[in-house]
Amino acid sequence: MKTVNDFNFNGKKALIRVDFNVPQDDNLKVTDNTRIVSAKDTIDKVLKDGGSAILMTHLGRPKGEASEKFSLKFIVDEVSNVLGCSVKFVDECVGDKAEKAVSELKSGEVLLLENLRFHKEEEQGDVNFAKQLAKLGDIYVNDAFGTAHRAHASTAVIAQFFPNNKCFGLLMAKELEAIQKVLKTGEKPVTAILGGSKVSSKITIIENILPVVDNLIIGGGMTYTFVKANGGNIGISICEDDKLDLALEILRKAAENNVKVYIPEDSVVADNFSNDANRKVVDTKEIPDGWEGLDIGPKTIKTFSEVILNSKTILWNGPLGVFEMPNFAVGTKAIGDAIGEATKGGAFSLVGGGDSVAFVKQNNYTNKVSYVSTGGGAMLESLEGKELPGVAAILEN
């Protein structure tokens, strides 16, 4: 797996696909610069070697048309702040204007191209558009893990124009390494904690990881599909009634693979989907009519925490309860604490997927786990065993 560390960029122009699809406020100021910070090491390596960096990214969904709101000129200041140098900007990403800006770029300088998705050819994976982009650099670097599952012009198609001069950025390498640790090289016991509301959205992941994990912890809304499938009463808890057979099939496959499955034994239930609802702790299999499970209970917290503390490799995807409501965030926080404790004791922990990442950031757990993935969809597809076009394009000779 070639990374930027395998190249010397002295006098070279590095064309780097980054993922600066960052959140902004109403004044278009960046509200979370995590993705920019994540690309800094790769860009720094190029500049330290004496090369120049041409950054390309998308922002939002402009649907193939130029739009003031989605212009990257509004993030230039934040990129400059993070990199600690003045970043140049050109309001095009292909054509004469972009080529002129690149030709004027000196060693040690950084140029940000305009939003790739102002051109519909980007998402179409158009070869000619990729060829125009390729003209801008000597070495192609893909450091955009968040878009690696898309076969777009700048993430996958472009690599063919750099047969011997293409590599991964350091963020991308870290992401792939973290996933490999869970799926292939992780020290045992390996524990996967899967939360969220739907079994259907996690089924492919579960099927792919069963041969490699020792423990599967189920939490969140999908708990109740498993409980109902096993004949329990779940009151008005969320449930995919058309997935009851699937839940039983998962349990059967887990048993075949000698995977121990942990389903919450008690739940914090509420008589209304609200933080202020009446709540009580009940056996998960005996939720009264008119009540719904919104968090894991104290017995479950104890059991799950013990499993986690005895694990050497941990994957966490999805919250264990409705963590957006403080009264139902207790379980997710306790699991976060247990993962932090296990990590401190030498375990490797990977957190990924929108809600888990949001939780980790909001509650300052980022430094308590080994790695927080920057790419929700890309990470999930990797865990499902799918080949990511942006990764395959770099690995192809």
Q: What are the pLDDT digits (tens) for 223-233?
A: 999 999 999 99
Q: Does the active-site annotation cover 354?
A: yes
In order of 218, 223, 244, 321, the CA distances from 229 in angstroms are 14, 10, 5, 20
* CA-closest candidate to residue 162, choices 55, 14, 5: 14
Pick from 291, 301, 371, 373: nearest CA to 330: 301
355 is in an annotated binding site: yes
Domains 4-171 and 186-383 are alike in CATH topology: yes
Mean residue pLDDT of the chain comes to 95
Q: Between the CA of residue 11 and those of 42, 107, 109, 350, what are the distances in Å?
A: 16, 6, 11, 37
20 is annotated as contributing to ligand binding? yes
**Upper half-sphere CA count for residue 341 (Cβ side, 13 Å):** 14
Query: Would you identify the CATH topology of the domain 4-171?
Result: Rossmann fold (3.40.50)
Amino acid at 106: K
Contact (Cβ atoms closer than 8 angstroms) between residue 304 and residue 262: yes
Q: Please, which residues have CB within 8 angstroms of residue 74's CB and are 6 or more apart in sequence?
A: 24, 28, 29
At 159-199, the pLDDT tens digits run: 999 999 999 999 999 999 999 998 888 899 999 999 988 88
Q: Is 152 annotated as a binding residue?
A: no
Q: Determine whether 377 is an active site residue.
A: yes
pLDDT of 358:
82
CB 266 within 8 A of CB 297: yes
Q: Is a pLDDT exceeding 70 seen at residue 83? A: yes
Q: Is 35 known to be catalytic?
A: yes
> Is 293 labeled as ligand-binding?
yes
The arithmetic mean of pLDDT across residues 313-335, rounded, is 94
198 is catalytic: yes
| pLDDT over threshold 70, residue 201 | yes
CATH annotation of 186-383: 3.40.50.1260
The catalytic position among 88, 198, 253, 361 is 198
What is the pLDDT, as a whole number, of residue 354? Answer: 63
Q: Could you identify the residue written with the tokens 């017995």? A: 299
Q: Residues near 258 by Cβ (< 8 Å), separated by ≥ 6? A: 214
Domain locations along the chain: 4-171, 186-383
Q: pLDDT band at 375, cuts 50/70/90?
A: confident
pLDDT tens column, 262-295: 999 999 999 999 999 999 999 999 999 999 999 9
pTM: 0.87
Of 12, 13, 17, 35, the active-site residue reads: 35
pLDDT per position as a tens digit, 86-99:
999 999 999 999 99
Residue 252 assigned as binding residue: no
Q: How far is CA 236 from CA 29, 217, 228, 272, 294, in A?
A: 42, 22, 11, 10, 11
